[in-house]
């Protein structure tokens, strides 16, 4: 998996991704503390609104920005987005009103909604080989999982010697370093495609390709499965640990770490596994793990409420279950970009990656409220069962709309992709 880091262009881009992720992780911690500083007991409501604004930016802003910047230089788009994010991060410590948080979060996440799909669409150009690209996807998955573990620890260490406002400076530096690494990368340039149709036509191009291609319709269904499991973990882990198990904040971190460990395990084994296992099979196994794991989480909640007995250590069962949920989500998420790569052409690649970014986050707009509101109103058993129902529906639809003979069921590429050498018309520039 680490062999792709021998490629100078990818090594610099991966470094940019890791540094930006660390900055984003520090921002998450600092934003929560800032919300508490401004709103006190209403900090949860402030953060909930901020997360909703983040999803709105991801779902609705990403396709529009992709259409607007499609003819601009890749470096300019990525560096410009990083500079906007750095400026917003630096301005956050100086605000003194809650509404200002909302405005700045919207601008910040709009910049992220511009940067992330453009960055993801660039990797298959830098690594055109199928095997190298799969290793890069696993490495990226590993980076996200490590960030979720390292960033809170780094923030905790920094907070022992400085105020939380200084974390925003760390975030700014992360985005600036990311911009510098992108500038230092020699990128393969594809001549820009001619703009066809109106802005609305170009904005919806990726979504229309998703709805037309059976493989991508299956991916969209499995995105819902991932969103259901992730929502349970991100929204309700603290409730399971603190309320049902009577645990501590440290126990919450341990449970989340178990989920991350399961995901990282898949990141390590995916490159070899996908050489022998079709993507469709690999991803549907992950969906099956989640479809079973979510009802198991409902059962676990019942045992802690004293409704049904459980043999063995409930805490060990929860940690194992959370690790299984991490395995299932990563089995779907890690290979997903391979499907986009095979369907994409030079002119549609950016639109497809943007559509995946936008549509997958649209699923969270459904599952986050289910996890939070159903859990608060009817309990964790009901929330887990509701999410299990969504996961089951996504799995069934995925099986039905993604035929086993589809492009994603083979590890060979289709005419829309390329596995060796740069695409025709590309050249390397600084």
Give the pLDDT band of residue 388 (cuts 50, 70, 90): very high
Q: Is residue 359 part of a domain?
A: yes
Which of residues 195 and 104 earns the better pLDDT score? Answer: 104
Same domain assignment for residues 188 and 250: no
Check residue 198 and give its pLDDT.
Answer: 55
Report pLDDT for 326: 92
For 277-379, where are the alpha helices, taking DSSP H only? 279-304, 314-343, 349-369, 375-378
Residue 424 belongs to a domain: no
Q: Which domain holds residue 91?
A: 1-196
Residue 430 covered by a domain: no
Radius of gyration of the chain (CA): 21
428 bridge partner residues? 188
Verify that 330 and 355 share a domain, yes or no: yes
Once rounded to an integer, what is the mean pLDDT over residues 98-104? Answer: 86
Whether residue 216 is contained in a domain is answered as yes
> What's the pLDDT at 394?
96
- What is the token pair recorded at 280? 């469709």
Closest Cα partner for 173 from 295, 348, 20? 20
* pLDDT at position 42 over 50: yes
Does residue 315 sit in the same domain as residue 407?
yes
How confident is the model at residue 44, as a pLDDT?
54
Is residue 4's pLDDT more than 50? yes
Bigger pLDDT: 83 or 347? 83
Q: Is the same domain home to 147 and 274?
A: no
**Same structural domain for residues 359 and 397?**
yes
Domain co-membership, 229 together with 178: no
Identify the pLDDT of residue 340. Answer: 82
Which of 196, 225, 245 is the endpoint of a domain? 196
Residues 109, 243: one domain? Answer: no
Share of the chain above pLDDT 70, in %: 81
- Indicate whether 240 and 351 sit together in one domain: yes
pLDDT at 294 over 90: yes
Q: Does residue 311 lie within any of the structural domains?
A: yes
Residue 176 has pLDDT above 50, yes or no: yes
Which domain-ending residue is among 179, 196, 213? 196
Domain end marker among 180, 196, 212:
196
User: In CATH, what number is assigned to the domain containing residue 393?
Assistant: 1.20.1250.20
Average pLDDT over residues 185-214: 66
CA distance 94 to 366: 33
Please provide residue 356's backbone torsions phi and psi, each rounded to the nearest 5 degrees.
-60, -45
pLDDT of residue 127: 78
Q: How many domains does the chain have?
A: 2
Kindly indicate the confidence band of residue 427, based on its pLDDT and cuts at 50, 70 and 90.
very low
419 assigned to some structural domain: no
Looking at residue 132, its pLDDT comes to: 81
Residue 16 has pLDDT above 90, yes or no: no
- Statement to judge: residues 123 and 223 lie in one domain: no
Neighbouring C-beta atoms of residue 427, cutoff 10 Å = 9
Do 183 and 255 fall into the same domain? no
Answer yes or no: do 85 and 228 share one domain. Answer: no
232 with 341, same domain: the answer is yes
Give me the helix-helix angle, 205-212 and 214-239, nearest 10°: 100
Q: Which two tokens stand for residue 271?
A: 């490159």
Chain-centre distance for alpha carbon 310: 34
Residue 420 lies in a domain: no
């Amino acid at each position: 998996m680490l062999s792709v880091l021998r490629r100078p262009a990818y090594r610099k881009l991966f470094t940019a991704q890791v540094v930006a992720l660390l900055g984003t992780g520090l921002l998450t911690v600092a934003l929560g503390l800032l919300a508490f500083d401004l709103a006190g007991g209403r900090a949860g409501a402030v953060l909930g609104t901020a997360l909703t604004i983040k999803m709105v930016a991801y779902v609705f802003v990403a396709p529009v920005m992709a259409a607007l910047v499609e003819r601009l230089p890749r470096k300019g788009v990525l560096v410009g987005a990083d500079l906007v994010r750095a400026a917003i991060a630096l301005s956050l410590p100086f605000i003194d009103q809650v509404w200002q948080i909302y405005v700045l979060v919207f601008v910040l996440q709009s910049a992220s909604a511009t940067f992330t799909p453009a960055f993801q669409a660039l990797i298959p150009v830098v690594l055109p080989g199928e095997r190298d690209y799969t290793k890069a996807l696993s490495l990226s998955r590993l980076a996200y999982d490590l960030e979720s573990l390292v960033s809170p620890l780094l923030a905790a260490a920094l907070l022992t010697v400085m105020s939380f406002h200084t974390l925003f400076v760390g975030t700014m530096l992360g985005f600036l370093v990311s911009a510098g690494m992108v500038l230092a990368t020699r990128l393969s340039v594809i001549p820009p495609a001619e703009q066809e149709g109106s802005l609305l036509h170009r904005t919806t191009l990726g979504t229309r390709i998703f709805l037309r291609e059976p493989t991508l319709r299956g991916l969209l269904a499995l995105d819902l499965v991932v969103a259901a499991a992730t929502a349970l973990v991100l929204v309700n882990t603290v409730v399971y640990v603190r309320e049902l198990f009577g645990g501590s904040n440290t126990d919450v971190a341990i449970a989340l770490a178990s989920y991350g460990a399961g995901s990282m395990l898949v990141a390590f084994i995916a490159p070899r596994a996908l050489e022998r296992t079709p993507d469709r099979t690999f991803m549907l196994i992950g969906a099956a793990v989640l479809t079973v794991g979510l009802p198991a989480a409902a059962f676990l909640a019942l045992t802690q409420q004293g409704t049904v007995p459980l043999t063995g250590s409930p805490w060990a069962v929860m940690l194992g279950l959370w690790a299984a949920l991490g395995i299932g989500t990563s089995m779907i998420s890690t290979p997903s970009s391979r499907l986009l790569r095979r369907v994409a052409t030079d002119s549609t690649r950016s639109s497809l990656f943007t559509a995946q970014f936008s549509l997958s986050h649209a699923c969270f707009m459904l599952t986050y409220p289910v996890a939070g509101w159903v859990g608060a109103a009817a309990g964790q058993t009901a929330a887990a069962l509701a999410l299990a129902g969504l996961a089951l529906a996504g799995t069934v639809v995925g099986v039905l709309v993604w035929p086993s003979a589809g492009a994603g069921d083979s590890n060979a590429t289709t005419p829309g992709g390329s596995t060796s050498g740069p695409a025709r018309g590309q050249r390397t520039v600084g």
